[in-house]
Structure 1
């Protein structure tokens, strides 16, 4: 869904010379500069033009309704602040006027004549698809906000739309580029997929058990080998010490004999 959103001081929709919807009011306080009773207009709500494409679903409709109600496009100070992006239409308790406009889905990439094949038909073979989606969008707005503050034009009619844009503030929302991808629903597993999953779990458990058994055996063998190695090293060290001691004893004996010979001729 594609929407053109305008912050307005007033807006109205006329069909066949009759005003069918309007929002906003005129504050009759005098302005200081003019020193007359020139009406002073303040922001009073949102005019939202809605275009529905052939690929739109209830997900795009609900996303747009939530996004529209949450947009921070109004100043916090209603009396003195001209600009500011602090309050939403819900925060400020303003009104919303929605107008269906299939021309928002026009394709202008080729030639100079608009191509409207991308717009959802209002009377397809299966029923009033676009009309139903537009009405569902309005009901979603009324449910999430307040029913008495949401107005609309006349779907499919030639309308005269008049507005006073405040600011001007005009924004464009497009579900095709701005909305996150819809969540994918999980499909239930078939009997074959369940069996494959059980087989994988059993195989993993078997491999884990085998690794556990191998680990339990390896430390025992390793310990015996370590003990044997330690015993062999200890035996070699002991023999070496004995041999070195005997050699040292012989050297000392020879030295002693030599010293005695030299001392007593």
Structure 2
């Protein structure tokens, strides 16, 4: 699985002009399931993200995890994280998991992260979504379970 984390002061996702998910201070997590991923992969990614020390401590150092801060998470499915741009000018997305598997793993990932403590809201799988955020820092981290 791939995930792009953005530390945020707030984030929201809208579908047809209506907010379907939002969070306050914490993380916006764009996530993409890849072929060969399974629930164990999603569990490992959720645990890594929950423990990742990218929030400031009292001394201003990035030394606190989402689970330490009481932060929230907004999880949004984004198959374009699997983009292959190695040939031509049009990205290919065949590296993303098939939609049925991708949706199941996306939902499993969100539940696994919530089980670790943070309040988690989600976007809507397969929908045309508009995502807004205020990046805090800015801090943006790329994770890939295959590496």
- Structure 1 stretches of 4+ moved >4 Å: none
Count of residues in Structure 1 that have an aligned counterpart in Structure 2:
147
Paired position in structure 1 for 2:12:
12
Determine the C-alpha separation between the residues in 1 that align with 2:32 and 2:70. 25
Q: Quick one: distance in 2 between partners of 1:21 and 1:138?
A: 12
Q: Does residue 100 in structure 1 map to residue 77 in structure 2? A: yes
Offset of 1:87 from its aligned partner? Answer: 0.7
CA displacement 1:107-161 (0-9 Å, x = unmatched): 1111111111110111xxxxx2211111111111121224xx1111101100000
Shift of 1:59: 2.4
Which of 89, 96, 105 is the aligned partner of 1:119?
96
State the structure with more CA Rg.
1
Residue of structure 1 aligned with 2:42, choices 47, 58, 61: 61
1:48 is matched with 29
Q: Which structure ranks higher in relative contact order (CA pairs < 8 Å, sequence separation ≥ 6)?
A: 2
3-state SS of paired residue (1:73): strand
Please state whether the residue corresponding to 2:64 is helix, strand or coil: coil
Distance 2:22 2:47 in 1: 22
Q: TM-score with structure 1 length normalisation?
A: 0.54
The Cα offsets for residues 149-178 of structure 1, whole Å up to 9 and x where unpaired, read as: 11111011000000000110000000010x
TM-score (norm 2): 0.95
For residues 211-260 of structure 1, give each alpha carbon's deviation from its aligned partner in whole angstroms, at most 9, with x where no partner exists: xxxxxxxxxxxxxxxxxxxxxxxxxxxxxxxxxxxxxxxxxxxxxxxxxx
Question: Once superposed, what is the RMSD of the aligned Cα atoms?
Answer: 1.1
Residue 61 (structure 2) pairs with residue 91 (structure 1): no
Task: Report matched runs for 1:173-192 at 5 Å.
Answer: 173-177=143-147
- The answer for the alignment partner of 1:220 in structure 2 is none
- Tell me the SS of whatever aligns to 2:63: coil
Q: How does 1:208-227 map to 2 (within 5 A)?
A: none
Aligned to 1:172: 142
Cα shift at 1:90: 0.6
| Structure 1: 5+ residue stretches without partners | 25-43, 123-127, 178-265
